[in-house]
Chains A and B, each alone.
Chain A
Amino acid sequence: MLDVGRHPNIDLLAYSEIEKVEGQAGDFTVTVRRKARFVDESKCTGCGACEGKCPTIVSDDFNEGLGTRKAIYAYFAQGIPSTRTIDADYCRQLNGKKCGICQKTCQADAIDFDQKDRIVELNVGAIICAAGYEVFDPSQIPEYRYQEIPNVVTAMEFERLLSASGPTGGHVDRPSDRAVESEIAEFEKKAKKSEKVVANFEKKYESNSAEFYEKFQSGQYKDDKDRVKWADKYSENLVIVESLEALKKKAETFATAKRLAFIQCVGSRDFRFYPFCSGYCCMHSIKEAIVANEHDTETTSTIFGMDIRAVGKGFEEYKIRGGNNSAISYTRSRVAEITEGQNSNPVVTYEDTRERKIKNQEFDMVILATACAPSAGIVDLSKLLGIELDDYNFIKTSPFSPVDCSIPGIFVCGCAGAPMDVPESVAQASSAAERAAETVFQYNFNKEKAVA
């Protein structure tokens, strides 16, 4: 990633979108919209002082909404280019409110609220489309109750929970427990505020609230408006403190998730959604189970699937190693439903296809191995490029020219063409690069020949 940012031959246009494509192989004219970051890339040093002072808190897409970021942000810590971006949807200043704290904080004078989108025109000989994919939204499968049961998460969300740079610092804290913890933080704030109000009354009347409240309840001071307010505030405080104590007691029992269930083929190999096999999900479930076990050796994982497809160099060995060393059990099954049991524990109801029996099993967390869905913007992009898509909206290619699109001079690599894992994406990217270079050199060669 760093190499891409530094390479003298790479002109990096991040936070940009393709607007128009004209021409043909050897001579395309492409219009690119460089979206306004409201931060001058050439001045920003990436120190992040602005981020520290920004008062607006926004849900963090990079952490799949499990964490928060500020309205001025770096997409992720090591992101290239190492500049900040202002989110125009949430920034106070850009929404007409008074703020501009980031501008006052920035020593490099990089914040520019007047920045506008810029249009750039490029002349290129070939185009490589590596537009990627989208994680399938499992809320389309009602029986898995994703989003209804907090401890049912997608593989990508679980990946963020496992990551040391993620919202939990690599501890597999259950989303239901994290919700309670943020509730506790909220109640603590409330309690502090209400204690302050009560303390003010105590000071004013030089008396203890508890004693006063006893007297008040026995009928005294009923006509004194100010004291009635005191009583109200004190009883309010009692309720807050009581709820806070109850939540804290609940939180004492919290532990990281130790019994994990992975459900395979969520959205893929399913005729309601995508009939194809997404290819990488078996392996990433095994990987996540192994990494979770590395974090905490008490962690056990059950992978529910029709079969485990470990096709690739070293993959089968990885699967066996997971089973032997990382407490993973592979259960050949079909999951019918996930319900919520006691203690926010998800309960998986499945058919054990070996024993032909219906079983229930309780877990701390369920991870859904979601399908590889086509990229959200691919239909618009394909129209701009004039290339054809297949039945599922992946870019159409033929088996004998797997990186060539339907138009000469345009090539595809990675998940924009079909679901594939990282090693395959890398191999295909090199292949597409070579095909694109061939196009450019060929036109160049023909040009030279014409001159001669």
Chain B
Amino acid sequence: MSEDILVIGGGIAGMQASLDLADMGINVHLVESLPSIGGKMSQLDKTFPTNDCAI
């Protein structure tokens, strides 16, 4: 039995899920295969429809 949660993938979805769980007080293990988290979204210059900076 464990109360921890594993999140596979550190893109925008994985990061958001991890933060939500961590804020609930749950221990999260976030596994990402690349050297840095951020995923495809970190490659984007801006995001629609507000033209906010992606990072």
Interface set of A (CB-CB < 8 Å, partner B): 1, 3-5, 7-18, 26-28, 30, 32, 37, 62, 64, 73-76, 78-81, 83, 85, 122-133, 135, 156, 159-160, 162-164, 166, 170, 283-284, 286-287, 290-291, 312-315, 317-318, 377, 381, 413-416, 421-422, 425-426, 428-430, 432-434, 436-437, 440, 443-444, 447
Q: Are A79 and B14 in contact (CB under 8 A)?
A: no
Q: Are B6 and A127 in contact (CB under 8 A)?
A: yes
Q: Are A414 and B11 in contact (CB under 8 A)?
A: yes
The 8 Å CB contact of A12, one of B4, B8, B37, B55, is B37
Answer whether A290 and B51 are a contact pair too, CB < 8 Å, given A81-B36, A130-B9, A414-B13.
yes
Contact with A along B1-43 (1 / 0, CB 8 A): 1111111111111111111111111111111111111111111
With A and B bound together, what is the CA distance between A441 and B30 in angstroms? 19
Q: Are A74 and B36 in contact (CB under 8 A)?
A: yes
Q: Are A159 and B11 in contact (CB under 8 A)?
A: no
With A and B bound together, what is the CA distance between A164 and B45 in angstroms? 8
Smallest beta-carbon distance B13→chain A, Å: 3
Interface set of B (CB-CB < 8 Å, partner A): 1-51, 55
Q: Which residues of A contact B27 (CB under 8 A)?
A: 9, 11
- The 10 sampled A-B contact pairs (Cβ below 8 Å) are A9-B26, A9-B28, A64-B43, A78-B42, A80-B37, A127-B6, A130-B8, A414-B13, A414-B14, A437-B24
Q: Which residues of A contact B6 (CB under 8 A)?
A: 28, 30, 122, 124, 126-128
With A and B bound together, what is the CA distance between A286 and B7 in angstroms? 32
Q: Which residues of B contact A156 (CB under 8 A)?
A: 40, 43
Q: Are A317 and B49 in contact (CB under 8 A)?
A: yes
The residue in B13, B19, B22, B44 that gathers the most chain A C-beta atoms within 10 A of its C-beta is B13
Main secondary structure of the interface of A (DSSP, over half): mixed
Q: Are A10 and B20 in contact (CB under 8 A)?
A: no
Q: Are B4 and A129 in contact (CB under 8 A)?
A: no
Q: Which residues of A contact B5 (CB under 8 A)?
A: 124-128, 436-437, 440
Q: Are A413 and B13 in contact (CB under 8 A)?
A: yes
With A and B bound together, what is the CA distance between A8 and B26 in angstroms? 10
Q: Are A122 and B29 in contact (CB under 8 A)?
A: yes
Q: Which 7 A-B pairs have the closest CB atoms?
A: A414-B13, A79-B36, A130-B14, A429-B16, A9-B22, A433-B20, A130-B9
With A and B bound together, what is the CA distance between A76 and B10 in angstroms? 14
With A and B bound together, what is the CA distance between A1 and B45 in angstroms? 15
Answer whether A16 and B33 are a contact pair too, CB < 8 Å, given A4-B19, A159-B45, A416-B9.
yes
Answer whether A430 and B37 are a contact pair too, CB < 8 Å, given A16-B32, A124-B2, A125-B3.
no
Q: Which residues of A contact B50 (CB under 8 A)?
A: 314
Answer whether A287 and B22 are a contact pair too, CB < 8 Å, given A130-B9, A426-B13.
no
